[in-house]
Structure 1
Amino acid sequence: MRRYSAPLVIGLAGAAVLIWLGVWQLQRLEWKEAILDEIDARILAEPVSLPADPDPTRDRFLAVKASGRTGDRDLHVLVSTRTVGAGFRIVTAFETESGRRILLDRGFVRETQKDTPRPPVRLTVTGNLHWPDERDRFTPDNDLEANYWFARDIDAMAGELGTEPLLLIARLVSGGDGAVAPLPVDSASIPNDHFGYAVTWFGLALVWLGMTALQLWRISRRDT
């Protein structure tokens, strides 16, 4: 029996650790889903006026409604959608009726519509405030001369268009010609991989137990 003891203890202990990691990931999944539900509720809440002193943590995804006029130029942010493919987000200055100048993400246009003229227009926009974190070390530098932006860099865009560093992403738009399709913020882009991690840990536990069983079988064969 001594020859069985060490492999059996190691096998059961290793499997217990792997199963515990899987259970922990399921707990993390429940926690993350609760957060995503809270974000979805915040996104779709009754809109309010623009806050006087917006905070990137407190006011992230805040639903707001504002009326005003778009600027005379826009910035083009490269993006891809599942249904259409490559295209651009149109980000412009937006001067509200109260005189504030903020950034407005009007939405999506196809790649062929990148340079279509979009003159200033009065709009009433319902959407969400957001401070997207889209740049990492692999993101190319923006090509300002060709008006190709590879991330929504709030501070850089605000400096380029002379606005507050505040981005409103349109969900519903009243006014305009409808040439720009809103691409609203949602929680789908927030990573939630905990279920996959849990499956991986449970799968490793099964493999570990299988290897342990194989080792015990080999020991038994040597004893016969």
Structure 2
Amino acid sequence: MRYWGMIILGIGGTAILLGLGVWQVQRLAWKTEILAQIERKILAPAVDIPAQVAPATDDLLPVRGTGRYVGNRTVRVLVSQKIYGAGYRLISAFELNDGRKIMIDRGFTSVRADMPAMPKGSGQVVGNLQWPQEIDSFTPDNDLAANIWFARDVAALSAHLQTEPILLVLRNSSFAEDAAQPLPKMSANIPNDHLNYALTWFSLAFIWLGMSGYFLYRSRDIQT
């Protein structure tokens, strides 16, 4: 009876682990298609910034606008980049030619570098609209005295910079003198670990099957 119980447990456990691996392969295909759709949306031809925008429909919309950077405040949002280490995203107010004021995520600068000067004159910016969801229960309060923010809270940033709650994450611009390195939104930044998960489940299934076979072999030797 114990022998058959071990057989059932071995086969059942292996089947469950293989099923989880297959499920992760299916999830991989689903996630890959989702990322491909996001990539197509991000890289679509840029359009003029709509008169009315909404996060639900216009998130990641590729847009372009012409105008000038205004104000004397640039917000620094603390981030980390694999190659460059700790640094800041620079968020500045930008006045479009039609008079509307939006925000531009100009890109990255190292914590070791001086604050890049705000570009002068008029020019064109191209990027994607974004309303990042970066705040959770672990996000600390912004250090306004030191001008260090810990998340791109569009509503709070727009109130601080006195703009509309519209954030354009820069891809490129005609402002050649801007020393900030653009950090455009890319689908490659979105995790897709389902292949690793699938390989883990399949490996566990192989280990489970091997251990079950070993215990059955040992059990047979004991019984004989």
TM-score by length of 2: 0.93
Question: Distance in 1 between the 2:56 and 2:30 partners?
Answer: 19
Question: Distance in 2 between the 1:151 and 1:219 partners?
Answer: 59
Report if aligned partners of 1:3, 1:219 keep a CA contact under 8 Å in 2: no
Question: Distance in 1 between the 2:99 and 2:82 partners?
Answer: 37
Cα displacement string for residues 38-61 of structure 1 (whole angstroms, at most 9, x for unaligned residues): 111111110011122222132111
- Structural mapping, 1:167-178, within 5 Å: 167-178=167-178
Shift in Å at residue 13 of structure 1? 1.2
Query: Aligned pairs, how many?
Result: 223
Partner of 1:156: 156
Report if aligned partners of 1:67, 1:124 keep a CA contact under 8 Å in 2: yes
Partner of 2:195: 195
Overall identity of the aligned pairs, in %: 48
Partner of 2:21: 22
Question: Distance in 1 between the 2:223 and 2:83 partners?
Answer: 63
Shift in Å at residue 14 of structure 1? 1.3
* Runs of 4+ displaced beyond 3 Å: 112-117
Cα displacement string for residues 124-155 of structure 1 (whole angstroms, at most 9, x for unaligned residues): 01100111112222222110111001111111
Partner of 1:95: 95
Question: Distance in 2 between the 1:58 and 1:8 partners?
Answer: 54
RMSD (Å) for aligned C-alpha atoms? 1.6
Partner of 1:32: 31
Report if aligned partners of 1:122, 1:176 keep a CA contact under 8 Å in 2: no
SS at match of 2:147: coil
Partner of 1:127: 127
Question: Distance in 1 between the 2:31 and 2:121 partners?
Answer: 40
Partner of 2:41: 42
Question: Distance in 2 between the 1:88 and 1:40 partners?
Answer: 25
Read off the aligned partner of 1:165 and give its amino acid letter: P
Q: Which moved more, 1:57-66 or 1:131-140?
A: 131-140
Report if aligned partners of 1:123, 1:176 keep a CA contact under 8 Å in 2: no
Shift in Å at residue 3 of structure 1? 4.2
Shift in Å at residue 109 of structure 1? 1.8
Question: Distance in 2 between the 1:175 and 1:117 partners?
Answer: 12
- Residues 121, 141 of structure 1: alpha-carbon distance in 2 compared, 3 angstrom cutoff: farther
SS at match of 2:28: helix
Shift in Å at residue 80 of structure 1? 2.0
Q: Which moved more, 1:32-41 or 1:2-11?
A: 2-11
- Residues 119, 39 of structure 1: alpha-carbon distance in 2 compared, 3 angstrom cutoff: closer
Report if aligned partners of 2:103, 2:158 keep a CA contact under 8 Å in 1: yes
Report if aligned partners of 2:119, 2:178 keep a CA contact under 8 Å in 1: no
Cα displacement string for residues 77-102 of structure 1 (whole angstroms, at most 9, x for unaligned residues): 11222232222111011111111111
Read off the aligned partner of 1:111 and give its amino acid letter: V
Question: Distance in 2 between the 1:4 and 1:119 partners?
Answer: 77
Partner of 1:140: 140
- Residues 70, 98 of structure 1: alpha-carbon distance in 2 compared, 3 angstrom cutoff: same
Question: Distance in 2 between the 1:6 and 1:82 partners?
Answer: 50
| Structure 2: 5+ residue stretches without partners | none
Shift in Å at residue 176 of structure 1? 4.7
Question: Distance in 2 between the 1:83 and 1:218 partners?
Answer: 52
Partner of 1:180: 180
Report if aligned partners of 2:118, 2:178 keep a CA contact under 8 Å in 1: no
